[in-house]
A = this chain, B = another copy of it.
């Protein structure tokens, strides 16, 4: 999905912005929770940096200081946003305490400001609460209206605020266990969360386990995070994933499961394996790197090419490309050089130069391309704009043939559960055959990984993945979309 993170163009940013009128879902975001004996700030700060790829718009950290929760939110990269307060040490007087949650936010729209930054905090009858959330509540509008009727007010457009209000209310009324249970039956969608209620930390995940959530231990400290790489980087030991439908309480040096909602299936987002997560993360017992290698190998079996060289779209297609090259014994080559300083969206001064924007990011290496049959690998195609451009610059660099191979199936339907693809008309694959798309991007041939091949590469059992964007059938009820009852919970 190189159009997204790999090579965001100005156009795509503009088009994205219309998708989310009236809602700000926590797509792609990073969640961190900390319960321990050390000062929480350093650990959460480092965890958020480790998960920076899950959100670069804004970050926030909430820490319980023994009587209240204090929160600091910043714009931009974690490292930059907290720079001055870390340098002069003032952050430690603001954010003292050893129970905390953190959040990185991904931006879906053009206008960027702190109003969407997590965590969301409230003071209620329960005491002080802070919630960090990754996912998307599908029925947030209905829940919001119902809560308003009960006198609840809202200060943001975030679905996270709705989630927090539902939880706060249900727990107040029905106690902790039944409150969480009731809330889970009301909430429809994806939510992997870390939550502070006064002096306790909770980690919980929706019954389908759509977004990842894992926890581990470093010394006397528990760390909850969206991805296992956080625990690695901190030098700790992974304990296990938070189970779908599970609520874990951290208190007085121990953790215990206080609820485990049963479900007939799971629906782990296949995109975490294909693109979102770091390759060094292990999600629901599957190592992302290994899954991607297998996707590449499987793709090679399904759609081999007698080529001279396998070239990835950096950085998104790299692991699948290695698997593809390995399977067929073809030379692997980084034939497209990526400018490391182009991670940030570029500001192009004038229209005349805007057409160069992809070349500033990606430039072909002649000796690796010229006169060769090239297999070009990426993880996915959404709009296809960038892929068309890459094919054209490989042509100019003298490629003899260009065979595009995609490490996942065609995307044909929107995601409502945490990926920033909200409308059908953005997809190049919409109502098109593979040969149409091949013609449109200008490649000599084009093939996608099959659905079965994807499932096998990830290796999770049947009924375990969410494949909504690939099939148009969703594991959660969504207005106007196909759904088959697949969970025991009423809300889904």
Give the interface of A toward B (CB within 8 A): 41-43, 45-46, 49-50, 52-53, 56, 71, 77, 79-80, 82-84, 86-88, 91, 94, 111, 114-115, 120-125, 144, 148-155, 165, 168-169, 172, 229, 232-235, 278-280, 282, 287, 289-290, 293, 315, 318-319, 322, 325-326, 331-334, 337, 339-344, 346-347, 349-350, 352-353, 356, 359-360, 363-368
| A233-B363 contact, Cβ under 8 Å, with A125-B151, A154-B123, A341-B53 | yes
Known A124-B151, A155-B155, A325-B332; further 19 A-B contacts with Cβ < 8 A: A42-B352, A53-B339, A53-B340, A79-B346, A114-B114, A122-B153, A123-B155, A124-B152, A125-B149, A125-B151, A150-B151, A151-B152, A151-B172, A152-B153, A233-B359, A280-B364, A280-B365, A282-B366, A332-B332
Chain B nearest Cβ from A328, distance in angstroms = 13
Q: Establish whether residues A349 and B41, one from each chain, have CB atoms under 8 Å apart when the complex forms.
A: yes
Instruction: List the number of copies, as a whole number.
Output: 4
A sample of 21 cross-chain residue pairs with beta-carbon separation below 8 angstroms, ordered by A number, consists of A41-B349, A71-B115, A77-B341, A79-B346, A79-B347, A83-B347, A123-B148, A151-B152, A151-B169, A152-B153, A232-B359, A233-B360, A233-B363, A234-B356, A280-B364, A280-B365, A280-B366, A289-B337, A315-B340, A322-B332, A340-B340
Chain B nearest Cβ from A371, distance in angstroms = 13
A86 to B79, CA, bound (A): 23
A352 to B151, CA, bound (A): 43
The chain B residue sitting closest to A161, CB to CB, is: B155
Chain B nearest Cβ from A374, distance in angstroms = 15
A279 interface neighbour in B280, B337, B356, Cβ under 8 Å: B337
Q: Establish whether residues B367 and A290, one from each chain, have CB atoms under 8 Å apart when the complex forms.
A: yes
Chain B nearest Cβ from A175, distance in angstroms = 15
**A41 — which chain B residues lie within 8 A by C-beta?**
349
**A289 — which chain B residues lie within 8 A by C-beta?**
337, 365, 367-368
